Amino acid sequence: MLTNPEKAVVFLLSLDEEAARVLVADLGEGELKKLRTTAATMKEVSKGSLDTTFREFLEKTGEAVALPRGGVRYLRRLTTTTHGEDAARDVFDEATATPMQRIERAKPQDLAALLMSEPVQLVAAFVSVLPAKLSAGVLQEMDAERQQEIVRAVTELKEIPTTALEEAAEAIAAVLPVSDGGTVQTIDGMSKAAQVINAADKSVQQTLLAAIESNDPELLEKVREAMFTFEDLKKLDERAMRMLLREVPAERLVLALKGAEDDLIDALLAGLSSRAAQLIRDDLDVLGYVKKPEIEAARREVVGVALRLESEGRLELPRGGGEEDG
């Protein structure tokens, strides 16, 4: 048997829109929310489950009735017509926003206040899945020691239990129930930590990197490498590129450029004379098969030279922005 809200949904969705509009106009916000929740869970109803009030409706259809007009979307349109767009947004749009989506729209200072006393591992989990700019803003609201603990925890992440993350998100956002918790989210913690640091203000970057260096110099090297990749080299201007390539052996550069995109090759070779650039291109043309690990090692060497020049104050690497938000 159908519940009363289910009967109401079926009845409304079976009416002509003009007739349904008159009925919806008399409903309050609480009643509309109940209809919205019911419509979102219904797929179809069998004719045998309807009571005598809907018998005439079922006789016209002659079979199971699939809910028409898209359920929630249809009710939202009716509510907009009868109650106005603001009321419709209040009633219906909250149903489509997950706890994480609400958190992503929060102000960094508000989110930081909520996370300030939470365990480091939990905060690291949030930092790893939120947009880098928001995560950086959250970190900037915390003291240096807390920042360093969180970034270190992020670098160590490999996967996050979905249940734990969604339960925490639900508690913070106070909205939707958690979904199936039998899965995990794969996280490249080192890459995410680099994105967060890149998105932070320069002063915060320096504080974080100095703190990491004092506690774990090896970790600092890994973080710095993740903060600037081989592909990022194309952001260098020609002067900086010339300085870099003076320090890179030609044979290692050729190997590093194997399989690279044309725009990256063009950008790097712009730091060489036309003759030297042509020699590199010629060497690339005749270079045979190379194993991927060898190419990656050569690329790490080139990036390592760039990072060394930066640490010596001879080069400023373009950073910032991290991942795109959203």
| 66 beta partners | 44
Q: Give domain limits for the chain.
A: 4-96, 100-207, 228-311
Residue 255 pLDDT: 92
Burial class (CB in 10 A: 0-12, 13-18, 19+), 310: middle
How many C-beta atoms surround the C-beta of residue 261 within 10 A? 11
How many C-beta atoms surround the C-beta of residue 47 within 10 A? 15
Query: At 136, which amino acid appears?
Result: A
Structural fold of domain 228-311: Annexin V; domain 1 (1.10.220)
Structural fold of domain 100-207: Annexin V; domain 1 (1.10.220)
Q: Give CATH for domain 4-96.
A: 1.10.220
Q: Provide the residue-wise pLDDT of the chain in tens; the chain has 326 residues.
A: 667 777 777 777 777 777 677 677 767 777 787 888 888 877 776 665 555 445 655 555 554 444 544 566 667 777 777 877 767 766 665 555 667 877 887 888 888 888 888 889 888 988 888 888 889 988 988 888 889 899 999 998 888 877 778 888 877 776 333 333 344 555 677 877 887 887 877 787 778 888 888 888 888 888 877 887 888 888 888 888 888 998 999 999 999 999 888 888 998 888 888 899 999 999 998 888 888 889 989 998 898 888 888 888 888 777 654 444 43
Whose tokens are 């009845």? That residue is 11
Residue 278 pLDDT: 92
Topology agreement, domain 4-96 and domain 228-311: yes
267, 236 contact by CB (below 8 A): yes
Question: SS3 string of 277-293?
Answer: HHHHHHHHHHCCCCCHH
C-alpha 74: how far from its chain's center?
30
The CA distances from residue 273 to 240, 268, 270, 280, in Å, are 14, 11, 8, 11
Tally the C-alpha atoms within 13 A of residue 38's C-alpha that lie toward its C-beta: 21
- At 163, give phi and psi (nearest 5°): -55, -50
Burial class (CB in 10 A: 0-12, 13-18, 19+), 264: middle
67, 43 contact by CB (below 8 A): yes
213, 220 contact by CB (below 8 A): yes
Cα–Cα dist 221/8, whole Å: 63
Residue 72 pLDDT: 66
